[in-house]
């Protein structure tokens, strides 16, 4: 099923006809369409979908689209010419118009249903029918898959118009949220964190949609106004967009025997997931129970490593439900996300996220999603008691595997080879007493300073610190001395003396210099609304090289503490929604 086509040498794709030659549809061709779907794809009203893996649906073209941005990095990897992004044919497709696509491209895309669980609890009430059968891609529509240099990529429009899963909403994404997702995907990839990738972003010059939002400088928790925002379509790319919630939907239907093909549909989607995301590590010839166990193990490895990476770079996903978890183990759905600035274990930009989805609770939240994933796989093993037992063991081992990943990550952030509990807890307590900027602190530490002077660049200070400045500074100095003794020990061998510069360069590869701070993104999407995309370009450039020192000018603008005026401001420090 995989790799139907392969390009020999990488040919530059400079027009849609070249791209069409690489198109091949595995999701639509090997899985089941909803038997109630219309053949034309004009399936844009909310309705229940009871079976099948997808609904064929045509995107709704964006009115008067204009080019905003594309990922130069992904274009290079795919062999796309940069000029393609602004060419009429390409722009038409990726702004939602499939009417005139060259063969074998199709005029319909596909949207998928999925289930929702929040922190380990299943919800079926969240669709207009209160059954869960109307929940899924409400505005995300995949339009093609292409096999490029041996890799299969699925391309999905976000904001591509209504689908049967739209639940009465408009099927659109606004420019603001599209700019945020576009930049975040670019940034996370450059940070070395697995993610869906940005391909392109187009905005409508005329079509606007309404969204609740915050008035300028608002301190209200909930949006206090309704604004009109330009509609946009961004395209994201990944080996597949199969979510934990999607496996849960088919798991639930099989468990409850909701229709005669329910078990078969679960097996099909799971095998498809393995094929698309785990084909290089799971042998095709194994039996389904063997494959399922390997899948659970491998997803656990990827997922725990992903979460450790999120924490390494200060990322908080915000809305960490199971439908926002890609089963391939990469980051998906940049909604109410944020990057931690002033360190707080409970940092959470989404007002609906509570403590359960907060920054340092993400390993626990991930465990809940992983448990739901394992529960969804269980029906496939019901007649294999031993495999079931093994699956339960994998499920319960999550916390310890996660812990190993976290300790490895903290050790690397501190330039150590092993985790030191005492050093780490003292650090966390000092970071909180002082209110340090997470990114700046670790980056300054990566310079391996002689004293705490340079670390002070990361101090926001707070009443505790200001009242007890001398004592806390002394603690910092003691902590630094302890840390230095440990790094020298960890980075010295009989044959290799300690090298300050070597350690510093290694630490800089773990601790980025530039972080996608929301107050840097806000002016970029605000200017974009006025048709000026220069700040988006600048941010894209800076954030695709987050570990590099970059120029003095970039440093002065982007390597900075969050200005005091931006704390506790709605739409900037926190958001109740983001779409």
**Is 243 among the annotated ligand-binding positions?**
yes
Distances (CA, A) of 136 to 24, 56, 163, 460: 24, 13, 9, 42
Kindly tell me the burial class for residue 124, based on how many C-beta atoms sit within 10 Å of its own C-beta (0-12, 13-18, 19 or more). Answer: middle
Residue nearest to ligand ATP (CB): 138
| Footprint on residues 480-539 left by ligand ATP (CB under 6 A) | none
Task: Give the integer Cα–Cα distance in Å for 438 and 567.
Answer: 15
Please, which residues have CB within 8 angstroms of residue 26's CB and are 6 or more apart in sequence?
Answer: 1, 2, 145, 152, 272, 275, 276
Q: What residues form DSSP beta bridges with 153?
A: 146
Q: Minimal distance in Å, beta carbon 344 to ligand ATP?
A: 24
Backbone φ and ψ of 515, nearest 5°: -125, 145
- 330-359: contacts with ligand ATP (CB under 6 A): 333, 335
248 binds ligand ATP (CB under 6 A): no
Nearer Cβ to ligand ATP (231/430) = 231
- Angle formed by the axes of helices 244-255 and 262-277, nearest 10°: 160
Residue 342 tokens read as: 């002033």
The answer to whether residue 333 forms part of the interface with Mg ion (CB under 5 A) is: yes
Interacting positions 403-462 with ligand ATP (CB under 6 A): none
What secondary structure letter does DSSP report for 205? E
Q: Which does 172 bind (CB under 5 to 8 A by kind): ligand ATP, Mg ion, none?
A: ligand ATP
Question: Is 200 an interacting residue with respect to ligand ATP (CB under 6 A)?
Answer: no
In the complex with ligand ATP, which residue's Cβ is closer, 244 or 374?
244
317 binds, among ligand ATP, Mg ion, none (CB under 5 to 8 A by kind): none
Whether residue 138 is annotated as binding a ligand: the answer is yes
C-alpha dihedral (502, 507, 508, 509), degrees to nearest 10: 100
Residue 228 lies near ligand ATP (rule: CB under 6 A): no
Q: Which of 79, 171, 194, 570 binds ligand ATP (CB under 6 A)?
A: 171
Determine the residue with CB nearest Mg ion. 333
> Which of 292/327 has CB closer to Mg ion?
327
- In angstroms, the Cα distances linking 400 to 3, 171, 405 are 36, 41, 9
Q: Which of 47, 53, 172, 197: binder of ligand ATP (CB under 6 A)?
A: 172
Count other Cβ atoms within 10 Å, centred on residue 86: 13
Residue with tokens 């450790």: 308
**Judged by CB, which is closer to Mg ion: 171, or 379?**
171
Closest CB to ligand ATP among residues 79, 160: 160
Least Cβ distance, residue 248 to Mg ion (angstroms): 14
Kindly tell me which residue out of 22, 78, 141, 166 binds ligand ATP, with binding defined by CB under 6 A.
166
Q: Which is nearer to Mg ion, 324 or 361 (CB)?
A: 324
Closer Cβ to ligand ATP, 74 or 184, answer by number: 184
Question: Of residues 195, 309, 544, 579, which one binds ligand ATP by CB under 6 A?
Answer: 579
Between 139 and 413, name the residue whose CB sits nearer to ligand ATP. 139
Q: Which two tokens stand for residue 534?
A: 């220069």
Structure tokens, 358: 């907060």
170 is in an annotated binding site: yes
User: Is 324 one of the binding residues for Mg ion (CB under 5 A)?
Assistant: yes
As measured in angstroms, the least distance from the Cβ of 195 to ligand ATP is 12
Pick the piece of the chain touching ligand ATP (CB under 6 A) from 2-10, 93-101, 167-175, 543-551. Answer: 167-175
Start-end of H helices in 192-287: 244-255, 262-277
- State whether residue 316 is helix, strand or coil: strand
237 pairs with which residues across the strands? 155, 197
Rule CB under 6 A: is residue 169 a binding residue for ligand ATP?
Answer: yes
Taking the least distance from each CB to ligand ATP, the nearer of 246 and 511 is 246
Binding region for ligand ATP (CB under 6 A) out of 30-38, 169-177, 374-382, 386-394: 169-177
Each residue 141-160 as x (binds ligand ATP by CB under 6 A) or -, in order, gives -----------------x--
Please confirm, yes or no, whether 323 is among the known catalytic residues. Answer: yes
The nearest distance, CB 319 to Mg ion, in angstroms, is 7
Within 10 angstroms of residue 52's Cβ, the number of other Cβ atoms is: 19
Give one DSSP letter per residue of 99-155, joined into a string: TTPPTTS-S-EEE-B--EEETTEEE--SSTTSSSTT-B-SSEEEEEEEEETTEEEEE
Could you give the string, one character per residue 296-335, with x where binding to ligand ATP holds by CB under 6 A and - elsewhere?
-----------------------x----x--------x-x
CB 18 within 8 A of CB 103: no
Least distance (Å) from Mg ion to the CB of residue 360?
Answer: 22
Residues touching Mg ion, count (CB under 5 A): 2
- Closest alpha carbon to 375 in 363, 392, 359: 392
> How far apart (Å, rounded) are the C-alpha atoms in residues 576 and 46?
24
Backbone Cα Rg of the chain: 24
Among 34, 145, 170, 277, binds ligand ATP (CB under 6 A): 170
Site for ligand ATP contains 70 (CB under 6 A): no
Conformational region of residue 45, where left means phi above 0, alpha means psi within -120 to 50, and beta covers everything else: beta
Which of 323, 344, 417, 548 is catalytic? The answer is 323
Beta strands 197-213 and 338-339: pairing type? Answer: unpaired
Q: Which of positions 87-146 make contact with ligand ATP (CB under 6 A)?
A: 136-140
| CA dist 177 → 119, 174, 359, 526, 529 (Å) | 24, 6, 21, 11, 12
Residue 579 interacting partner from Mg ion, ligand ATP, none (CB closer than 5 to 8 Å by kind): ligand ATP
Closest CA to 19 of 145, 108, 166: 145
Provide the binding-site residues for ligand ATP, judged by CB under 6 A.
Answer: 136-140, 158, 166, 169-172, 319, 324, 333, 335, 579
- Which of the residues are catalytic? 323
> Which residues carry a binding-site annotation?
136, 138-139, 158, 170-171, 236, 243, 324, 333
Provide the binding-site residues for Mg ion, judged by CB under 5 A.
Answer: 324, 333
């Amino acid at each position: 099923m995989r790799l139907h086509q392969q390009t020999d040498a990488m040919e530059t794709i400079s027009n849609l006809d070249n791209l069409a030659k690489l198109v091949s549809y595995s999701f639509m061709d090997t899985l089941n369409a909803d038997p109630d779907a219309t053949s034309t794809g004009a399936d844009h009203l909310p309705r229940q979908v009871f079976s099948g893996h997808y609904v064929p649906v045509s995107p709704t073209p964006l009115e008067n689209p204009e080019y905003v941005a594309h990922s130069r990095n992904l274009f290079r990897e795919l062999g796309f010419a940069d000029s393609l992004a602004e060419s009429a044919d390409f722009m038409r497709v990726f702004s939602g118009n499939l009417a005139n696509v060259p063969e074998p491209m199709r005029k319909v895309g596909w949207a998928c249903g999925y289930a929702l669980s929040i922190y380990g609890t299943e919800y079926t009430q969240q669709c207009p029918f209160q059954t869960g059968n109307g929940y899924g891609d409400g505005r995300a529509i995949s339009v093609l898959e292409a096999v490029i240099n041996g890799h299969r990529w699925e391309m999905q429009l976000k904001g591509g118009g209504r689908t049967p899963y739209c639940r009465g909403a408009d099927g659109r994404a606004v420019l603001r949220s599209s700019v945020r997702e576009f930049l975040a995907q670019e940034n996370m990839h450059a940070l070395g964190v697995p993610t869906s990738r940005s391909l392109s972003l187009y905005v409508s010059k005329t079509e606007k949609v309404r969204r609740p939002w915050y008035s300028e400088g608002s301190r209200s928790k909930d949006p206090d106004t309704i604004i009109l925002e330009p509609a946009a379509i961004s395209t994201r790319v990944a080996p597949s967009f199969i979510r934990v919630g999607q496996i849960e939907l088919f798991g639930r239907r099989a468990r409850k025997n909701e229709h005669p093909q329910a078990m078969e549909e679960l097996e099909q989607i799971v095998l498809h997931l393995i094929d698309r995301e785990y084909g290089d590590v799971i042998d095709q010839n194994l039996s389904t129970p063997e494959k399922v166990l390997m899948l659970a193990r491998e997803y656990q490895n990827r997922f725990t490593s992903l979460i450790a990476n999120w924490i390494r770079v200060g990322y908080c996903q915000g809305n960490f439900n199971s439908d926002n978890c890609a089963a391939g183990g990469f980051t998906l759905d940049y909604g109410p996300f944020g990057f931690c600035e002033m360190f707080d274990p409970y940092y959470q930009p989404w007002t609906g996220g509570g403590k359960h989805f907060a920054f340092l609770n993400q390993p626990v939240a991930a465990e809940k999603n992983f448990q739901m994933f394992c529960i969804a796989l269980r029906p496939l093993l019901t007649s294999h008691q031993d495999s079931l037992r093994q699956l339960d063991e994998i499920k319960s081992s999550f916390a310890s595997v996660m812990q190993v990943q976290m300790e490895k990550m903290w050790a690397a952030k501190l330039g150590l080879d092993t985790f030191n509990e005492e050093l780490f807890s003292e650090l966390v307590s000092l970071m909180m007493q002082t209110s340090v900027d997470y990114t700046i602190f670790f980056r300054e530490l990566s310079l391996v300073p002689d004293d705490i002077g340079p670390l002070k660049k990361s101090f926001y200070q707070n009443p505790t610190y200001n009242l007890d400045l001398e004592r806390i500074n002394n603690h910092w100095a003691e902590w630094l001395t302890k840390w230095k003794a440990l790094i020298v020990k960890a980075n010295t061998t009989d044959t290799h003396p300690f090298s300050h510069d070597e350690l510093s360069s290694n630490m800089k590869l773990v601790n980025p210099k530039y972080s996608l701070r929301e107050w840097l993104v806000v002016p970029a999407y605000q200017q974009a609304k006025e048709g000026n995309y220069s700040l988006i370009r600048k941010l894209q450039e800076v954030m695709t090289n987050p570990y590099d020192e970059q120029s003095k000018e970039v440093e002065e603008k982007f390597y900075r503490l969050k200005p005091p005026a931006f704390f506790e401001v709605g739409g900037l420090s926190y958001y109740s929604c983001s779409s």
